[in-house]
Amino acid sequence: MNIGFIGLGLMGAPMASNLAKAGHTLHVWSRRPQALADYAKRPSYQIHPSAAAVAAASEVVFVMVADSPDVHQVILGEGGVAEGGKPGLTVVDMSTIAPETAREVAAALFERGIDFLDAPVSGGEVGAINASLTIMVGGEEVVYERIKPLFDLLGKSVTLIGASGAGQVAKACNQIITGVGVCAVAEAINFAHKTGVDAERMREVLMGGFAASRILDMHGQRMLERNFVPGFKAWMHQKDLGIVMDAAHAQYLTLPTAAAALQLYNAMVGSDLGDEDTTAMLKLFEQMSTAAEGASA
Amino acid sequence: MNIGFIGLGLMGAPMASNLAKAGHTLHVWSRRPQALADYAKRPSYQIHPSAAAVAAASEVVFVMVADSPDVHQVILGEGGVAEGGKPGLTVVDMSTIAPETAREVAAALFERGIDFLDAPVSGGEVGAINASLTIMVGGEEVVYERIKPLFDLLGKSVTLIGASGAGQVAKACNQIITGVGVCAVAEAINFAHKTGVDAERMREVLMGGFAASRILDMHGQRMLERNFVPGFKAWMHQKDLGIVMDAAHAQYLTLPTAAAALQLYNAMVGSDLGDEDTTAMLKLFEQMSTAAEGASA
Crossing angle of helices A256-270 and B256-270, rounded to 10°: 160
A296–B251 CB contact, under 8 Å: yes
- SS3 of A47, please? strand
Look at residue A41 and give its three-state secondary structure.
coil
Give residue B14's pLDDT. 97
- DSSP assignment, residue A235? H
| A173 to B296: CB separation less than 8 angstroms, yes or no | no
Instruction: List, in order of start, the domains of chain B with CATH numbers.
Output: 2-162 (3.40.50.720), 169-296 (1.10.1040.10)
Q: A50: which residues sit within 8 A by CB, 6+ positions away?
A: A29, A79, A80, A84
To the nearest whole Å, the CA of B200 is away from the closest chain A CA by: 9
Which of these is catalytic: B21, B148, B156, B171? B171
Question: Cβ–Cβ of A296/B173 closer than 8 Å?
Answer: no
Contact yes or no for B183/B264 (Cβ under 8 A): yes
Q: What is the mean pLDDT of residues B16-42?
A: 94
Q: What average pLDDT does this structure show over B192-213?
A: 96
Output B232 or B168, whichever has higher pLDDT.
Answer: B168
CA–CA separation, B89 and B142 (whole Å): 14
Q: Cβ contacts of residue B179 below 8 Å, gap of 6+?
A: B237, B240, B241, B258, B261, B262, B265, B278
To the nearest whole number, what is the mean pLDDT of chain A? 96
Residue A255 has pLDDT above 70, yes or no: yes
pLDDT at B72 over 80: yes
Is the Cβ pair B197, A257 closer than 8 Å? no
Q: How far apart are CA B124 and CA B115, in angstroms?
A: 26
B-interface mutation test, from A125, A130, A177, A219, most B Cβ less than 10 A away = A177
Cα separation, B235 vs B247, in Å, equals 19
B158: pLDDT confidence band, cut at 50, 70 and 90? very high
* DSSP conformation letters of B116-143: EEE--EESHHHHHHTT-EEEEEES-HHH
Strands (E), B189-275: none
Contact between B32 and B1 (Cβ < 8 Å): no
Smallest CA–CA distance, residue A45 to chain B, in Å, is 31
pLDDT at residue A35, rounded to an integer: 84
Q: Which of residues 203-262 of A touch B (CB under 8 A)?
A: 204-206, 208-216, 218, 244, 247-248, 251-261
Please say whether the beta carbons of B155 and B121 come within 8 A. Answer: yes
**If you measure CA to CA, which chain A residue comes closest to B121?**
A209
Do the Cβ atoms of B122 and A259 come within 8 Å?
no
| pLDDT for B291 beyond 90 | no
- Give the chain A residue nearest B162 (alpha carbons): A197
Active centre residues of A (catalytic): 171
Region for A89 from its dihedrals, namely left if φ exceeds 0, alpha if ψ lies in -120 to 50, beta otherwise? beta
With vertex at residue B272, the alpha carbon angle to CA B270 and CA B273, rounded to the nearest 5 degrees, is 100
Higher-pLDDT residue of B294 and A177 is: A177
CB contact under 8 A, A202 and B170: yes
What local confidence, expressed as pLDDT, does residue B145 receive?
A: 98
Helix or strand (DSSP H, E) at A292:
helix A290-296
Please give, rounded to a whole number of angstroms, the shortest distance from the CA of A275 to a CA of chain B: 20
Give residue A297's pLDDT band: very low, low, confident or very high (50, 70, 90).
very low
Give me the interface pTM, i.e. the ipTM: 0.94
Cα first-last separation, chain B: 65
pLDDT tens per residue, range A145-155: 999 999 999 99
Choose among A122, A198, A208: nearest Cβ to B162: A198
pLDDT digits (tens, 9 = 90+) for B226-279: 999 998 999 999 999 999 999 999 999 999 999 999 999 999 999 999 999 999
CA distance B18 to B195: 48
Q: Return left, alpha or beta for B139; rule: phi > 0 is left, psi -120 to 50 is alpha, else beta.
A: left
Residue B89 has φ and ψ, to the nearest 5°, of -65, 145
Is the Cβ pair B210, A174 closer than 8 Å? yes
Question: Minimal CA–CA distance to B192: which of A106, A134, A167?
Answer: A167
Residue pair B71/B105 in contact by the 8 Å Cβ criterion: yes
Contact at CB, B201 and A161, closer than 8 angstroms: yes
Q: How confident is the model at residue A33 (pLDDT cuts 50, 70, 90)?
A: confident
Strand partners, B122: B134
Separation between Cα atoms, residue B222 and residue B216, nearest integer Å: 9
- CB contacts of A134 in chain B (<8 Å) are 205, 208-209
The phi and psi torsions of A281 (rounded to 5 degrees) equal -50, -35
Is B6 in contact with B48 (CB distance < 8 Å)?
A: no
Determine what percent of chain A is predicted with pLDDT higher than 90.
93
User: Which pLDDT score is estimated for B292?
Assistant: 67
Residue A34 confidence (pLDDT): 86
CB contact under 8 A, A162 and B195: no
Is B46 touching A (CB cutoff 8 A)? no
Give CA–CA dist B271/B240, Å, rounded: 18
CA A59 to chain B, closest CA, distance in angstroms equals 28
Q: What is the pLDDT of residue A47?
A: 97
Give me the count of residues in chain A.
Answer: 297
* Window A:92-121, CB contacts with B under 8 Å: 99
Q: What is the pTM of this model?
A: 0.94
Q: Is the pLDDT of residue B297 over 50?
A: no
Is the model's pLDDT at B290 over the cut of 70? yes
Q: Note the pLDDT tens digit of each residue in A161-187.
A: 999 999 999 999 999 999 999 999 999
Segment A14-25 mean pLDDT = 98
Average pLDDT, stretch A215-223? Answer: 98
A187 touches chain B (CB under 8 A): yes
